[in-house]
Structure 1
Amino acid sequence: MDGRKVISTRRRVRAIAAAALAAAMLAAGAAPAAAQALPPSERLFNTDRYQTAAVVSEHAFPSGADTAYLVSGEIFADGLSAGAAAAQEGGPVLLSTRASLPPATASELARLDPTTVVIVGGTPSLSAGVEAEVRAVDPGMSVVRVAGADRFETSRMVAERAFESASSAFIATGLRFPDALAAAPAAAARSGPVLLVDGGRASLDAATEATLESLGVAWAGVVGGEDAVSRGILDDLDAELDVRRFAGPDRFATAVALLEVLSAADTVYIVSGERFEDAIAGGAAAGARGAAMLLARQACMPSSTLAALESLQPDRIILLGGEPTLGPSPARYESCG
């Protein structure tokens, strides 16, 4: 691609992010103008989160994948850093219950025909029985479990496994899900991991600092405001790295701010900002396909998300999840007002 075109597109996407953030800050209860010439929305879903993740995987990886990640569909902690890692390895993130492997997940693993399945999280998240069922899908597959003492160590182990080195990394709180999940496509665009921290700490923990150093990270994106990742953590990062904070007045606007990282986005995935499960699968799909991912409410489209869509004018807008997750109003681009 022509270098001048890439620079021009990046500037346009940055302007889109800035304009959408301004819209969120200025909305003050006033409904924005109707969606401007956006394409009709599409929807990928099935009867539950496990089947939906399988549908997303088949959509994003129609020819299969060498590597697939498996995380809990019941708790979000271990899935937060899996999306960027899976995108780096060119594969999806699928979901399982703790007790047993859902049939839809087993079927999708068989279709993908991966050489390696990475199970993220210890047996309290995904049991030994699930691991045995994964191995039974294809005895020739390599099945690797990545699990630390807690979600923070697990995220570091996931990063160290998927990335031999990385010049960039994103830092997000591991105590709640929206920011870390929204960061997956941006991290994939910069070929880096998402690392989880306890954002309330006054300083950066030594283990995360060591992982950043071992990977060779020179640039870090901090996701969320100071209520998510403290000023002390950012200052410690800034002492060693080039650091940029991506934050808006809420989770929806923070996801928009991350658009600045993308050079282009012809496709935008819309996921719930209120529930985590579909965004776990969506982050890997968006990251692998060079797409953007934005957040919506079940009942409406936040003004910042709508402004970003109107400015970006993507060719496709794809909602992930059924109407209990994202109702008919966001599918029609109806603003929260």
Structure 2
Amino acid sequence: MKKIFKKALIISCILPLTLPSANAFAQVSSVKRVSGNSRYETAIKLSNTYFADTSKVTFAIVASGETYPDALIGGSLAAQESAPVLLTYKSSVPAGLVSELKRLQPDHIFLLGGPNTITDTVLTSLKKQTGIAIDRIYGNDRIQTGDEINALRATLAGMDEADFEKISDPTLFACVNAYNFHDSLYSAPYYGIMTSDQGIGFLSLAPSTIYEKNIDFGEAIGDIKVVRDGTNSMIITKGSDRYESSVKIAEKYTNELNLNPDTVILTSGENYPDGLGASSLVGLYEAPILLTQKDVLSTYVKNYISKHKIKNVIIVGGPNSVSDNLVSQIKAIK
């Protein structure tokens, strides 16, 4: 009996060494999901959750929830100023928006987009109900609105017009396709958090095809088509798909900004609504935005999380955009 007992004791000591639990070597320690019943509610929840300390809120951004260009290119402004992004209907104010703005009490609200995107009735209503000063930032179209957002960013960064005109570094100026949502979703925040060491980076919306002979510097990102003129002056950053492209921009955080984020923001690469408010977190965490399909985590994204030893993943969007099965895939990354 003693021999049997000793044998059993030895086996019991060995088993924990030979049969570790499935998550023993899991790398990601925290996966948090932020979502609401609508894109408007998701944006409010992001603001309420991550901007709980209102003493640090100087600006708030309000953009259309019915179309993507202004909100997404506004991601550079949100990241630069660590400002929450909230959404509105074109002709009416969604439930909860006024309450959240009153809670935040920013010094100023920037309303992105012209009257055809957000009516003057909404602007007047928000100003009257909150008592907060509001400036509308817009151009004649989405491309010009992007340029106006860049001009505002330059002003807030203390640059005058002459400084703005002197920018000639390819890493500081980039173009994305004005007619897809994903490229500006993951790249605008990166250009918004460039530090003073690198200069202030600007991202512009552009036609889907650009001619390099008309641009003597810069970077083309994602799906934009570049027609070369033989000078090869424009850098092109593009992956095999939007998921790899988001990783290529994420790599720039480390390679070009000398940042080593331990957090990433994950949102749908298949549709834009939940991602509209995601850029508000970038300035807080200096974290890249990565894109995903609903049910399958891209190998590129998975490898990025593993390679950079990412500890925290913030999912923006509900299970209809980023499934619970994907959460399990993230938690299994080693």
TM-score between the two structures when normalised by the length of structure 1? 0.77
Counterpart Cα distance in 2 of 1:234 and 1:308: 34
Q: What SS does the corresponding residue of 2:100 show, helix, strand or coil?
A: helix
**Deviates further, 44-53 or 190-199:** 190-199
Cα RMSD between the aligned structures?
Answer: 2.3
Are 1:158 and 2:149 counterparts?
Answer: yes
Q: CA deviation at 1:204?
A: 6.9
Counterpart Cα distance in 2 of 1:134 and 1:48: 20
Q: CA deviation at 1:184?
A: 2.4
Counterpart Cα distance in 1 of 2:277 and 2:77: 12
Q: What SS does the corresponding residue of 1:163 show, helix, strand or coil?
A: helix
Are 1:193 and 2:202 counterparts?
Answer: yes
- Alpha-carbon deviations, 1:33-54, whole Å to 9, x = none? xx95322421011211111111
Q: 1:102 aligns with which of 67, 91, 94?
A: 94
Are 1:231 and 2:226 counterparts?
Answer: yes
Equivalent in the alignment of 2:183: 179
Q: What SS does the corresponding residue of 1:269 show, helix, strand or coil?
A: strand
Contact 1:36–1:310 at 8 Å: present in 2 too? no
Contact 2:64–2:117 at 8 Å: present in 1 too? yes
Equivalent in the alignment of 1:42: 32
Q: Which runs of 4+ in 1 moved over 4 A?
A: 233-236
Are 1:82 and 2:82 counterparts?
Answer: no
The alignment-based identity, stated in percent, is: 23
Equivalent in the alignment of 2:282: 286
Counterpart Cα distance in 2 of 1:149 and 1:138: 28
Q: What SS does the corresponding residue of 2:266 show, helix, strand or coil?
A: strand
Q: CA deviation at 1:203?
A: 4.5
Q: CA deviation at 1:256?
A: 0.2
Structure showing greater radius of gyration is 2
Counterpart Cα distance in 1 of 2:44 and 2:66: 16
Contact 1:98–1:130 at 8 Å: present in 2 too? yes
Counterpart Cα distance in 1 of 2:208 and 2:145: 16
Contact 2:27–2:311 at 8 Å: present in 1 too? no
AA at the equivalent of 2:34: L
Counterpart Cα distance in 2 of 1:234 and 1:84: 29
- Alpha-carbon deviations, 1:29-77, whole Å to 9, x = none? xxxxxx9532242101121111111111223322221111111111112
Q: 1:53 aligns with which of 23, 33, 43?
A: 43
TM-score between the two structures when normalised by the length of structure 2? 0.78
Q: CA deviation at 1:281?
A: 1.0
Matches within 5 A, 1:203-222: 203=212, 220-222=218-220
Counterpart Cα distance in 2 of 1:201 and 1:186: 22
Q: 1:302 aligns with which of 298, 319, 326?
A: 298
Instruction: List runs of 5+ in structure 2 lacking aligned partners.
Output: 1-24, 195-199, 254-258
